[in-house]
Structure 1
Amino acid sequence: MQSSTEALTLTTVKYGDSSLIAACYTKEYGLQSYMLKGILSSRTNKKTPKSLFEPLTLLELEATKNSTDRLGFIKEAKLHYPYQTIPFDLRKKTLLFFLAEVIQQVIKEEQEANNQLYAFLKKRMLWLDTEENVGLFHIKLMLDLSKFIGFYPNISDKTAPYFDLETGCMNTIKPRGSFLDGSIKVAWVQLLGMDFDKVGEMKLSRQEKSVLLDSVVIYFELHLQQFKSPKSTKILNEIFK
């Protein structure tokens, strides 16, 4: 049965010589996988071009829902919102590749609709497209995303000198495992308490940005089973020097 839904594209995997399997996070059904038959073939009708499935593109889909033993099929795909700046901005495009990897790992069990999570992600993508100074957008998004999966950092005791990455809490005693202190702990606390619109105003050194990104990735690895550091993390650190 076919139905219409908004969707955010995540990743694609080549299947055979001319097809792709696309993972999309849909508004109506959660995470879905679709077979895109012949999309890489020059002979195929380009009604559904491959460019529509760049990471975190906002789409309108007419498609069948996938089942436990069958991939979904897209009858029609079109842009829900055409990005105005992202396609022409290397920094923003790199952010989307990184975040698509993160989001796919976070929502891989989300086989049902989660309207709040979908609305959150959509709003953040639209913000990224319209803002010039993206700052620590990706780190702030990951921290806010942790609210939806149950391990949002507890910073009730902001004056404590340590943040324990393993427990997700501030600590007055130096933890034995992974932790943050000094300027990185201060930046972590500031970012958590900051409105999203202000992320471009935080001023950190290149090294601090790199350590902060590595820290949030470690935090996800510690709290989300099977989460692995995105392949694009190193590229992101280079782009945001």
Structure 2
Amino acid sequence: MTHKTKGIVLRAVKYGETSIIATVYTELFGIQSYIVKGVRQSSKKSQGKSNYFQPSAILQMEVYHNELKNLQFIKEFEWAYLYEHLFFDVIKNAVATYMVELLQHSLKQPEANPELFYLMEDSLKQLDRGDVTLTANLPLYFTLHLATELGFQWQGEFNKHTPVLDLEEGQYVGDIPGHPFYLSGELARISSEINSINFYNDLENIQLNRTVRRQLLQSFQQYIALHVSDFGELRSLSVLYELF
């Protein structure tokens, strides 16, 4: 039996002489690995088909699915959304790479999570269309909302009674905790503001300097690492530090 599902490509590696194995985050089945046959052939029919499997590509697919197998097969595929800028803009592509890597490190099981899929899909589309400020702030927004979809949303908000964000406990508290994983002062306030955003366009109104954005991104990524076992190190994070 075949199923139609959208999928976001996370990575692809060569397989045999003409095929690839693609890791795809799907709407119906969560993260899956697919053998895609013949897309690296030099024939006219196959020319350019490997481009569909660039990381962050959003595809409409018809797939075979067997829960007892680790490797599935893709029968048909086409663009579900065709980027205008993301594949060609170095900065937007770096942000997309971070989002893809963060998702890979955060997902430990293959089960479906449609809301998380829609967050990833919508964030990539907004990144493709967004201005410079939205692009720079999107990694912060995505990291916090990813944590929410994974089940560990922050509790409380910044105010004069709870001016400290305890990253280990995932909540705003009144006093500095006895560990180094916390934000206070302006960093805690801005974190609360970003966490309360419901519309991507609101990111265009948040003006942050390079130092603040770097501190926040480092702390937000640390928050997820504290709550996901065997999280590992993100190679793309250092690139964002340099860019933003």
The CA deviation at 1:125 is: 1.9
The CA deviation at 1:37 is: 3.6
Alignment partners' CA distance in 1, 2:2 and 2:221: 38
How high is the TM-score relative to the length of structure 2?
0.88
Q: Is the 8 A contact 1:59 1:80 kept in 2?
A: yes
* Paired letter, 1:228: G
Q: Which residue of structure 2 lines up, in the alignment, with residue 88 of structure 1?
A: 88
Question: Structure 1, residues 134-184: CA drift from partner, whole Å, max 9, x if none?
Answer: 231011111012111111111335332311110011121111111111222
After TM superposition, the structure 1 stretch with the greater mean CA deviation from structure 2, 211-220 or 100-109, is: 100-109
Aligned with 1:164 (options 163, 166, 190) = 166
Alignment partners' CA distance in 1, 2:234 and 2:165: 23
Alignment partners' CA distance in 1, 2:206 and 2:174: 25
Q: Which residue of structure 1 lines up, in the alignment, with residue 142 of structure 2?
A: 141
Q: Tell me the number of residue pairs that the alignment of Structure 1 and Structure 2 aligns.
A: 239
Q: Which residue of structure 2 lines up, in the alignment, with residue 69 of structure 1?
A: 69
After TM superposition, the structure 1 stretch with the greater mean CA deviation from structure 2, 51-60 or 64-73, is: 64-73
Alignment partners' CA distance in 2, 1:43 and 1:233: 38
| 2:228 matches 1:193 | no
Question: Structure 1, residues 190-231: CA drift from partner, whole Å, max 9, x if none?
Answer: 111223321122111211111111101110110111112321
List 4+ stretches of structure 1 deviating above 4 A. none
| 2:114 matches 1:115 | yes
Pairwise CA RMSD: 2.1
* Paired letter, 1:186: R
Alignment partners' CA distance in 1, 2:210 and 2:81: 33
Alignment partners' CA distance in 1, 2:208 and 2:233: 22
After TM superposition, the structure 1 stretch with the greater mean CA deviation from structure 2, 40-49 or 17-26, is: 40-49
Percent identity between the two aligned chains = 28
Q: Which residue of structure 2 lines up, in the alignment, with residue 184 of structure 1?
A: 187
How high is the TM-score relative to the length of structure 1?
0.89
Structure 2, unmatched stretches of 5+, are none
